Structure 1
């Protein structure tokens, strides 16, 4: 009979397995472990029977001296693009490392200086190998055989797939005219100086423009309200400092900014750490206490979402009434800040100071007034305003998230006004950032000619579904239709087809249920990507695009950073993947304009010829980088080293030249326009891309949904959807390595959770009148009461009733037009409760990879 101890020891227990490997009886095993405990403190124990320990879990594993090392970079738009170093054996990337200082000119291992910091990749970039070799790589052209969204495709040849696309394009153009094809290319993971996907300089934009059938998507989901603000206020979106300027700040206000997750510059942490070491104080304005707040020991001021403009107005009131504003700076550089800085022709119109003091509406925008709207104590608003106005220099980093709201541009314009009234613009350690674009890179290597950005209609990106569903009964202001100077002005586009290049916008735009209805009415949907994405589910044709590891290009910094990274073709394209440039060149030949589209190549380019790509890139380097930017390093040396870092003689500060040298701002008046001369002179708003009136000065405008709405009786929670650390929008959502760090879940305040009987890990449904999602919960006090946090980018996964089981917040967002173009991702009211509905945590946790569904032959 077994002893009780033996009976409790199962055959699969760790102790039993170890005893079996050592070939010991239970009695001798216990003796050995007891002896080990006695000898362990002396360091004399040695198990002779154990095999020599290995560093790796399996063999054979190639060592570094067996691998070829190739410098390349990340490719996505996470807020930076950093160096990756591919270690490959043959045609397989075995592992990825990052910058260690040795690759730049005069570099050595470990070099990492203030002027030339290492360009270290984050956890997303370091995980790229799993995305590259994912089971969900799109390796062959596919043609839909089931219903849209059903995910039933068959493998096709390139010839059949491109013939189908070309014939459909011609038929659609002939029947529906030059606005029938919608361009929804964007800079997801197809972005370089040659293989580029974006709305203005992208390969798709040029291709459809030359074809003569293109409706453009003019608004950028991340920061359109901010773009509008910067152009109206400063005349440019290049309004950012390089991040080394943060090291000189004495106060940094992170307004809606979580640099631990979204960088806005690759070495942000390095410079902010220096600022902290030098005594800089940090403040966070955000509905949730973020990791960044914890890192920098920031004063956390929780605020009701979508009320930031009101709080900033309250701060402006305190600064004005306590005479803490910089009047000399205002008089010299600002237009419309007060009555004395108004243009002569607009003396009778509103100025900013009188609006703040309540002259026009008899409502002074006091801290007490703001407190009732934004939920921040009036004393805290006063304290922050006083701290900001008295601290020199101070950086109010007005990030993009609070601008992703209804009337989000008013938050950004209000922040710019507060920055200007305190004189914190154009000075080292200050901040003018809205968009935040800083150092200017040379961005285009392919032919950028008269066909670039040709369009025959241009609408706000997330209003395409509204346009399709309601055509022709659509007013131009409803879709943000851009004005033209020809017979197509005001003509509502009859959209019959969509191209997605480098974008997963079907998964990422607002009000997905509305998109699902609209997509069924189209005649052609083409998705070009390296991965089978949710957008691909609803496509007619899937075209496999080579990743940046499989083509030749140069990486640009993303908004901040001053460097270029060479991207050679590290490995051969997997499956039958082709580059974007190859695909569009071959389609252009089929449609009759191949030589014009790619003048350096003939039709054999479809089989890939790196000499063509190298010629484009060499010309770009020699004529733009060397000639315009004064770089002395040759193209061949750049390819050999892999990176070129510009060494600036001093930190780049936006508008330093205007403030120190008296150069004019790029606005019509040459000043910082708190009062916008452009907006003030618009007579017919319906004939603008905005569609609806926008005040000439920054104002608090009540959004259609927020904590002060009547709608809270039905939907009492304000939902925000910030960017996660483990994805770049929807990119990397299918990477198990990253999903192990975090599960898509909704964050709720502990007091709200207690009232609803919800605990961490419970499955809940979050819903409103637009849709419903199912997710687990995370209960915490790091989120203010009345607010739910559900990170954007989860891949949609619908059940038979149209409920999203993956937790994509854009089933709850609204696509209403915010006049200046801001996307209202964070203007969402919702409700939450425990549920028995099914939640699906992700395909990486299922028995079968999702790719199986797509790859089977039907």
Structure 2
């Protein structure tokens, strides 16, 4: 036998290593090849993505019963034929070995994560028995639902049929709520989700703390790219040199929490210099003279002292907007819960757009279609004599409910006890500030049910965990698009549910049977329900299944014309620059500046955002996406790093003013951030051991946000008011 040389051994070892790596990916690659060669059964299944809540139309390639490829549906307005990195990670979620596989019933203390496997019948019977007892002792309103995304449609009838209307979604109080209220007060309408922005045709795009390119909302990032390619001027307001700032003509590294000062100065300059749209303002707005008088005090020189932005740059950016009106896209932001004064800041952004004449104008914000499908009457739910908790004491708490109001009512037991929570499609411990408050509220419950795909941190505290199958394994409700044109999109399973997981519609329906509420689910399976809706909407169901999306282009009238006038559902019937409604509620009718607290010596303001490949805490354990971004980093200015003797890549911990200390987090020392703040990507530092790839990886910003201001108008929680110091030796 010949003796192998060291060189030959290393060469052979390299080949074996490469082969081992390739084998990891061989099954899907082989199946895709086999499908293309006609050697295995191949199907193309249309659906819509749920890796985030943009709900892009998608097409799944299924070969030999396995999903091997995802791509964007070219008929989808949110996908435009493409999927982002997160969207392509849907296969990783489907085949994640850590996903929930069976119903679980708690055996240890809450938070310990000790459960035993149960059958569906046992788990649902256990829940139903508990809920019946709670209803008998405390009334039906003692059940609350925290929900987000597609499961909402299935569990809302269950909640309301039970006799409760106490539900809330973090998308309101922890995300878009202040913006919704601010725009409705101004225009009588929200800007929509996805936002109705004609960005591709804009001459100026203004981003105020919006991280396009990192916050990967698919079609919007594509349109931002189009705007850049078309020569639009880009203005980015951000304490951090973000990806978007790298594309900007004007980067304004603003002092955190002083954005209102800049916006009010812009409004003042545009009015003073006559750069506003006089004809539009005269025809469509109410209260212009009062606005002009109120903002006179906000000069660029004054704003320079508040924001650290030179007065000349404030003037120059106001001029860019004024001279290119109305083709100015001022992004309203999406996660806008910053400082507890967020409705008024959103109002100021809406007013800035109004005086430039952008609403209903090309390059600004387009009008929603007025097309609609026939209304489907809702079921008749039992009435309640008790007040709903979902809006708390906030006069303009939204239709999606105020999570923190229900949490507080649970903790104090007033105005009546809340004894059961159902949590679907959301990880409350990662979505809401005040984790200690959430855990204390949970301790008052007799029952916590978590419905999820993955073992989230919230599931550690559940009494029962129910495994929902992934979006690639289920039907869900139709997505009715009300953007430029009316559209309908379908979700249908690409493969059958794996393990012992079930779709949310099945879970809700089966639980309804055990609660005697089956009349609220008058169909055998959810595809029957979809068929009924398509008949009502006059949509060919088979065509919808094949195409994935059906649009009605004749319903699109996106811009103001002589025969397409906007409708403003406000008290005046016009755009309200001066809000009588706010005045009657005891709030400022025109936004005014109020200085925010600044970090004490040795502390930094904690800012956070998103990664282009992750959605909150939902994807940090995803095998495909975790490989791309395993843990978050803490951005720290190089000046501050030198002062503290810290180096790039070093691990530190963060400690807030109340002494709460984070997991360790790796430093990213950079020139691209101001000295008075630090920044990290949200969603990391998870405590569930079931998330084997994400467990205790990086730091959790929500853990540190232990105190926070609350917007008195809508109940939104201000989550960029936390100050932290760095702890060495983590």
Q: Which of the five TM-score ranges fits, normalised by the shorter chain? A: 0.7 to 0.9
Alpha-carbon distance in 1 for matches of 2:201, 2:65: 46
**Match of 2:397?**
none
CA separation of 1:400 and 1:337: change in aligned 2, threshold 3 A: farther
The answer as to 2:49 corresponding to 1:75 is yes
Alpha-carbon distance in 2 for matches of 1:441, 1:146: 53
**Match of 2:592?**
699
CA RMSD after TM alignment = 3.4
CA separation of 1:524 and 1:235: change in aligned 2, threshold 3 A: same
Tell me the SS of whatever aligns to 1:124. helix
Alpha-carbon distance in 1 for matches of 2:371, 2:97: 36
Structure 2 counterparts to residues 517-536 of structure 1, below 5 A: 517-536=440-459
2:574 to 662, 665, 671: 671
Tell me the SS of whatever aligns to 1:291. coil
CA separation of 1:174 and 1:783: change in aligned 2, threshold 3 A: same
1:639 to 530, 545, 549: 545
**Match of 1:328?**
279
The answer as to 2:548 corresponding to 1:622 is no
The answer as to 2:335 corresponding to 1:384 is no
Alpha-carbon distance in 2 for matches of 1:747, 1:452: 52
Alpha-carbon distance in 1 for matches of 2:245, 2:115: 47
C-alpha displacement at 1:809, in angstroms? Answer: 0.6
2:621 to 730, 734, 745: 734
**Match of 2:103?**
141
**Match of 2:398?**
none
CA separation of 1:74 and 1:117: change in aligned 2, threshold 3 A: closer
The answer as to 2:46 corresponding to 1:18 is no
Alpha-carbon distance in 2 for matches of 1:171, 1:441: 46
Encode CA deviations 1:320-350: one digit per residue, 9 max, x unaligned.
2223233332222111221xxxxxxxxxxxx
Encode CA deviations 1:166-217: one digit per residue, 9 max, x unaligned.
1111222222234322210111xxx2xxxx41xxxx3222211111134222
**Match of 2:467?**
544
Alpha-carbon distance in 2 for matches of 1:720, 1:443: 42
CA separation of 1:424 and 1:526: change in aligned 2, threshold 3 A: same
Structure 2 counterparts to residues 403-442 of structure 1, below 5 A: 403-431=337-365, 438=368
The answer as to 2:235 corresponding to 1:283 is yes
Tell me the SS of whatever aligns to 1:221. helix
Residues 99, 454 of structure 2: 8 Å contact kept: yes
The answer as to 2:305 corresponding to 1:372 is yes
Tell me the SS of whatever aligns to 1:227. helix
C-alpha displacement at 1:571, in angstroms? Answer: 1.5
Structure 2 counterparts to residues 551-562 of structure 1, below 5 A: 551-553=474-476, 556=479
Alpha-carbon distance in 2 for matches of 1:444, 1:159: 38
Residues 369, 556 of structure 2: 8 Å contact kept: no
Residues 765, 834 of structure 1: 8 Å contact kept: yes
**Match of 1:751?**
639
Residues 417, 674 of structure 1: 8 Å contact kept: yes
Residues 210, 593 of structure 1: 8 Å contact kept: yes
**Match of 2:263?**
312
**Match of 2:702?**
810
Provide structure 2 residue ranges, at least 5 long, that are not aligned to the other structure. Answer: 393-401, 690-694
Residues 138, 532 of structure 1: 8 Å contact kept: yes
CA separation of 1:499 and 1:19: change in aligned 2, threshold 3 A: closer
**Match of 2:424?**
501
Encode CA deviations 1:67-121: one digit per residue, 9 max, x unaligned.
422223343373522233323344332x1231375xx6xxxxxxx9xx9983311
Residues 716, 829 of structure 1: 8 Å contact kept: no
Encode CA deviations 1:565-611: one digit per residue, 9 max, x unaligned.
433222111122222222222222222221x211123xxxxxxxxxx
**Match of 2:211?**
258
Alpha-carbon distance in 2 for matches of 1:134, 1:441: 41
CA separation of 1:233 and 1:505: change in aligned 2, threshold 3 A: same
**Match of 1:91?**
65
2:93 to 99, 107, 131: 131
Alpha-carbon distance in 2 for matches of 1:290, 1:560: 28
2:334 to 397, 400, 403: 400
Tell me the SS of whatever aligns to 1:772. coil
**Match of 2:501?**
577
Alpha-carbon distance in 2 for matches of 1:545, 1:444: 31
Residues 69, 85 of structure 1: 8 Å contact kept: no
**Match of 1:182?**
144
CA separation of 1:806 and 1:471: change in aligned 2, threshold 3 A: farther
Encode CA deviations 1:257-293: one digit per residue, 9 max, x unaligned.
22213355x4234433333333211111112122123
**Match of 1:777?**
667
**Match of 1:354?**
293
Tell me the SS of whatever aligns to 1:78. coil
Alpha-carbon distance in 2 for matches of 1:352, 1:22: 72
Residues 406, 827 of structure 1: 8 Å contact kept: no
**Match of 1:600?**
523
Alpha-carbon distance in 2 for matches of 1:236, 1:759: 49
Tell me the SS of whatever aligns to 1:767. strand
1:211 to 129, 149, 162: 162
The answer as to 2:177 corresponding to 1:224 is yes
Tell me the SS of whatever aligns to 1:619. helix
**Match of 1:449?**
379
Aligned length: 694
1:118 to 80, 87, 105: 80
The answer as to 2:219 corresponding to 1:249 is no
Provide structure 1 residue ranges, at least 5 long, that are not aligned to the other structure. Answer: 1-5, 24-49, 105-111, 339-350, 358-363, 473-491, 602-611, 683-692, 838-858
Tell me the SS of whatever aligns to 2:636. strand
| Structure having the higher Rg | 1
C-alpha displacement at 1:778, in angstroms? Answer: 1.0
Tell me the SS of whatever aligns to 1:448. coil
